[in-house]
């Protein structure tokens, strides 16, 4: 991926002053959407056409659009149906990722009319990397470490399956393929206690971007409230600081948002995935 046009990093003058949430949102829209990696994971395909990005080759498909679509009404209905039917022909579920400030504003309603179902809404939060560098001390039995080890990822998937009461076996192959395709862009940290993976989270870097994305962060129920979330955040922020990335972006749940709010993160918008599943598919995975 090369820097071009609106994907270029912000100027030093912008980053050296306090910028408004609206400026941050414009920067986020320009740099963190419609990303086509230079080296996609094996078997994963990214197709960008007319401000719509379609991804295939994962456990479920993904659709993302530019912030402003130049179609509306019946043309928008036809666009949605075209992509839905593409995945229907493959007998695959597909997630359409929306943001609250997208245009046209009735995209969610038209997705629902086409058979898509709204999933949990999350807040899109952005904060300065420096605001997440510190964390309170962890109990002695908890260790935070970076890893690419297969057994660690298998252990993380098992923990996620317990937390979300869903089968995360797919997670192992997808994450390992993602790391293998661009090892410098995805960094995984896990928390280990008593020889077991009890939490995990990753940071994903985008070339030419002022943002790094924080993903994951689920923790086994018996280990919550012990500072693991903050420690994983600090470990990832330290990595972002080393690379000179000024901002961290999180799609945050209601549980995570208050923690990040206290660290100075601001809500720029919200994001809601809409999921369509072919009638013959198994139950939705979380």
Q: What's the pLDDT tens digit per position in 150-188?
A: 999 999 999 999 999 999 999 999 999 999 999 999 999
Q: Across 156-222, where does the E strand assignment appear? A: 186-193, 196-205, 211-219
pLDDT averaged over every residue in the chain:
93
The confidence score (pLDDT) of residue 12 equals: 52
The confidence score (pLDDT) of residue 280 equals: 72
pTM for the model: 0.90
In whole angstroms, give the CA distance from residue 51 to residue 31: 14
Is the pLDDT reported for residue 7 higher than 60? Answer: no
CB 221 within 8 A of CB 160: no
Query: Do 10-121+272-276 and 127-270 show the same overall fold?
Result: yes
pLDDT tens, 19-50? Answer: 899 999 999 999 999 999 999 999 999 999 98
For domain 127-270, give the CATH number.
Answer: 3.40.630.30
pLDDT > 90 fraction of the chain, expressed in percent and rounded: 90
Q: How far is CA 153 from the centre of its chain?
A: 18
For the chain, the domains span 10-121+272-276, 127-270
Q: Tell me which fold the domain 10-121+272-276 belongs to.
A: Aminopeptidase (3.40.630)
First to last CA, the chain: 30
């Amino acid at each position: 991926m090369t820097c071009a046009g609106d994907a270029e990093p912000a100027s030093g003058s912008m980053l050296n002053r306090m910028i408004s949430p609206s400026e941050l949102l414009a920067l986020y829209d320009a740099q963190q959407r419609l990303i086509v990696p230079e080296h996609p994971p094996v078997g994963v395909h990214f197709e960008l056409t007319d401000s719509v990005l379609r991804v295939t080759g994962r456990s479920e498909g993904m659709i993302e659009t530019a912030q402003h679509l130049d179609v509306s009404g019946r043309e928008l209905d036809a666009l949605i149906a075209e992509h839905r039917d593409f995945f229907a022909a493959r007998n695959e579920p597909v997630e359409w990722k929306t943001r609250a400030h997208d245009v046209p504003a009735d995209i969610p309603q038209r997705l629902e009319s086409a058979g898509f179902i709204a999933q949990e809404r999350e807040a899109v939060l952005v904060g300065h990397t420096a605001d997440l560098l510190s964390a309170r001390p962890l109990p002695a039995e908890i260790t935070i470490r970076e890893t690419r080890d297969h057994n660690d990822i298998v252990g993380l998937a098992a923990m996620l399956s317990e937390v979300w009461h869903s089968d995360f076996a797919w997670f192992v192959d997808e994450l390992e393929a993602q790391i293998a395709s661009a090892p410098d862009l995805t960094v995984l940290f896990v928390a280990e206690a008593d020889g077991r993976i009890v939490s995990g989270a990753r940071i994903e870097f985008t070339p030419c971007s002022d943002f790094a994305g924080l993903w994951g962060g689920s923790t086994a129920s018996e280990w919550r409230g012990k500072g693991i979330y903050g420690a994983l955040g600090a470990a990832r922020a330290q990595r972002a600081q080393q690379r000179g990335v000024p901002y961290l972006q999180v799609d945050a749940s209601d549980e995570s948002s208050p923690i990040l709010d206290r660290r100075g993160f601001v809500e720029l918008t919200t994001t809601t995935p809409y999921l369509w599943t072919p009638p013959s598919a198994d139950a939705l995975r979380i």
